[in-house]
Amino acid sequence: MTSGTTEYIEAKVSIFFEPNHIACQYCPLLETYSRDMCRRTGEYILDKRGRGHWCPLEIKEEFDGVF
């Protein structure tokens, strides 16, 4: 008898940033308890003013102001 999962379903989440503020310090996935670490990749973040080396964010085109 097998109790493991045989397949997985991918789910995606949208994270919104202000223009010109796309950095770890503004990301809700940044964990800051003892060290700055990305909850998504597990990477330790040395400089929160940029993005981590393994950051998986896909930046969409700039907002054109039309809904």
d(CA 26, CA 60): 17
Residues of the chain with pLDDT > 90, as a percent, come to: 63
Any idea where the domains of the chain sit in the sequence?
20-50
Residue 21 is encoded by which pair of tokens? 């503020």
pLDDT single digits (tens) 13-27: 899 999 889 999 999
What average pLDDT does range 3-14 have in this prediction? 88
